[in-house]
Chain A
Amino acid sequence: MSEEQTSRNFRANSAASIADSSLRAAMKNATDTFGTRRTAAFGAIPDLEALRDKASEVRMQVLDYLPQYLEKFTANATSAGAMVHRAHDAQSAKELIGSILKERGVKMAAKGKSMVSEEIGLNAHLEAAGIEVVETDLGEYIIQLEGETPSHIIVPAIHKNRQQVGRLFADRLGVPYSEDPQVLTKIARKVMREKFLAADAGISGANFAIAESGSLVLFTNEGNGRMVTSVPKLHIAILSVEKLLPSLADLPTFIRLLPRSATGQAITSYVSLITGTRKPGEATGAEELHIVLLDNGRSEILAGECREMLKCIRCGACMNVCPVYRTVGGHAYGWTYPGPMGMVLTTLLTGMEKSYPLVDASTLCGACVDVCPVRIPLVDLILKLRGRRISEGFSSSREKLGMRFFGAAVKNPVIFYWLERVSRLFWPVIQKLSGKNVAGRLPEPSSKPFHRRMP
């Protein structure tokens, strides 16, 4: 991520998004499509609720015994030929990856989609070190050309329509303008193929890592993930520590849940399992594999009251159904992860000071909780974070004063009814003070409130 975090400007960011009609149309169109496809995909699964229970249980088990699973994964991946590294924070992860590439004289790295690499700002670091990084996921490639960051964790260029992509390709690649997705995909494929063959290294993320076998699991649709992890001789995979699953036997549960939740597919085009390096007699696979396990604040989250957030498997279903996300898009959230999971994770990972306005970005409607495949209690976590904002001193003194008043009045009917009467008398003033978009939207208080109509 090359840009500064702007989560504190959430309100201004979202007002700008709301004024952008092509962004709004693209968001509505895409989120509606994913929502409909998700519903249709789960229609065929009769035991969905039991499946979600199971997935939640497995993820919780991983979190409860994370150090043991990490140790087991490290031992098994190492014996399969991988080098496993632990990175405490973003800086050490970037330096580690940079030095691996530098030491081997890598000039260009082909990269598969990885939100963790966005979180730590890997591309900017490598480019500053003179290493060219080419994003090979189509959506990531589009935003890389545009110099943007992802606005969705699964669909990075969700905010763009095909006309915008057509103009971008014509501008940057010197190809004739087209808005036909097939033509555009073909253009990208041609560019990328050359890059894959020329790249000295592949960098990827991983959806899961299996403790029992030391394997990495990648769900991809475009085939680029498989190219990145198997064509170059050197492969570096970066993932956050909580992405583990205990054993291969747990994988089918997530194969059934993740693609359906994310894109509404019964399964992605590719599900790749990578266990160690290329063995004698094998035709593909990296000869050197480094796995970077990133903490970057996860251990702290794990020890706190919001640990269930780490169950997240990054499907993006919560954002597709979130009324706020659908309306403002991902960039408004001002950091790597948007939507309901993003507002919680961003606050936990970057701290309240950098992100406190984000915890307001929910109507508490609960649509996210309805769809979360691993049953993260997102609304409860948002409420916890709202409480934490107060205790950490990031709520406005006006709000605190207002709430103190409310707290006193709600316990005392005399004051409560008196305040009702005063606000009725001064209603025009209140409307003016709060702005037309707040009290201006409320009707005028009744001249005879209900309690005075009752015996």
Chain B
Amino acid sequence: MRVQLFGTCMVDSFYPEVGDATVRLLEHFGVEVVFPPGQTCCGQPAFNAGYRNEARGAAEHFLSIFTGNDPIVTPSGSCAAMVKHHYPELLKDDAKLAETSRSAAGRVYEMSQFLVQVLRAHEKVFTGSGKLTYHSSCHLTRILGVREEPLLLISALQGAEFVPMPDAMRCCGFGGMFMAKLPEISCALADEKAESIMATGADTVTGCDSACLMTIADGLQRRGSGIKVKHLVQLLAEGL
């Protein structure tokens, strides 16, 4: 099986190790990973701020890079949701692009979704350790509807204890441009999220979106917490 990997701009700049872990995991399961060159950003910063023309440009570029019929896999629920739900709507007025966007929407997977639904990775055993808690990202959960997949993968981490986080689905405060436009509120939300995490007694918090994990890491750091923050693909790759 072959997949196209969409690294995302957050991973490209700030968390390349999440990209590395994604590749390691996919290859471990015998998947050939193609990284289509020239990929940039899915366009959410513009889309979420109301700049539809700029977002449309990002969508057209994405679709010109991710061609063919292979599944598109990305370690971000938010970026997958953008491609799956917002591209077809953004490009609906151009018949050809609308068709292309629907095709991309039909083959895009967030990584935990791909691991469970296609590779059935949750039926394998990974080595885990310590006490884990999980943040359920908004777009992953509410737009993509990915609720169970990350939890199934966490329970495949043998040796790790899972502690649910209170209000796991409450927003971390990132919100894209929101964190820059209303930083006081964004920080207050990150602080509240950090407190929920600290209340679990976990030593590691995980999730499926680097932007949320970044916000969480910042909240924890401001509270002087030593709780580790790791993307789920990192925990799984470490446990191979």
How many chain B residues sit at the interface, stated as a range, is 35 or more
Select the residue from A388, A435, A450 with max chain B CB neighbours within 10 A.
A450
Contact B181 A410 (CB under 8 A): no
Q: Residue of A at shortest CB range from B38? A: A413
Contact B48 A323 (CB under 8 A): no
The yes or no answer to B154 lying at the interface (CB within 8 A) is no
The yes or no answer to A197 lying at the interface (CB within 8 A) is no
Select the residue from A362, A407, A412, A435 with max chain B CB neighbours within 10 A.
A407
Contact A364 B138 (CB under 8 A): yes
Q: Residue of B at shortest CB range from A413? A: B38
Segment at the A interface, from B96-104, B125-133, B165-173, B232-240: B165-173
Given contacts A360-B182, A365-B171, A435-B183, contact A403 B13 (CB under 8 A): no
Contact B188 A327 (CB under 8 A): yes
The yes or no answer to B227 lying at the interface (CB within 8 A) is no
What per-residue 1/0 map shows which CB atoms of A309-344 lie under 8 Å from chain B? 000000000000001100110000000000000000
The yes or no answer to B71 lying at the interface (CB within 8 A) is no
Question: Could you say which of A360, A385, A413, A442 contacts B181, with CB atoms under 8 Å apart?
Answer: A360
The yes or no answer to B31 lying at the interface (CB within 8 A) is no
Segment at the A interface, from B49-57, B108-116, B155-163, B199-207: B49-57
Contact A448 B184 (CB under 8 A): no
Q: Whole-angstrom distance between the alpha carbons of A62 and B24 in the complex?
A: 56
What per-residue 1/0 map shows which CB atoms of A434-450 lie under 8 Å from chain B? 11011001110110111
The yes or no answer to B72 lying at the interface (CB within 8 A) is no
Contact B41 A367 (CB under 8 A): no
Contact A406 B46 (CB under 8 A): yes
CB-defined contacts of A361 to chain B, threshold 8 Å: 182, 185
Contact A407 B54 (CB under 8 A): yes
Given contacts A365-B138, A387-B50, A450-B7, contact A437 B184 (CB under 8 A): yes
Contact A437 B48 (CB under 8 A): no
Q: Is the contact region of chain B dominated by helix, strand, or loop, or is it mixed? A: helix
Contact A450 B16 (CB under 8 A): yes
Q: Whole-angstrom distance between the alpha carbons of A321 and B159 in the complex?
A: 35
Contact A438 B179 (CB under 8 A): yes
Contact B46 A403 (CB under 8 A): yes
Q: Whole-angstrom distance between the alpha carbons of A317 and B218 in the complex?
A: 30
The yes or no answer to B29 lying at the interface (CB within 8 A) is no
How far is the CB of A142 from the nearest CB of chain B, in Å? 26
- Could you name 20 residue pairs across A and B whose Cβ atoms are closer than 8 Å? A11-B181, A323-B189, A327-B192, A363-B138, A363-B186, A364-B138, A364-B178, A383-B47, A384-B50, A403-B51, A406-B46, A413-B37, A420-B13, A434-B180, A441-B215, A442-B218, A443-B214, A449-B13, A450-B12, A450-B19
Which A residues lie at the B interface, using CB under 8 A? 11, 14-15, 18, 323-324, 327-328, 359-367, 369-370, 383-390, 395, 399, 403-404, 406-407, 409-413, 416, 420, 423-424, 434-435, 437-438, 441-443, 445-446, 448-451, 453-455
Which B residues lie at the A interface, using CB under 8 A? 5, 7, 9, 11-16, 19-20, 23, 35, 37-41, 43, 45-54, 57-58, 60-61, 138-139, 142-143, 169-171, 173-190, 192, 214-215, 217-218
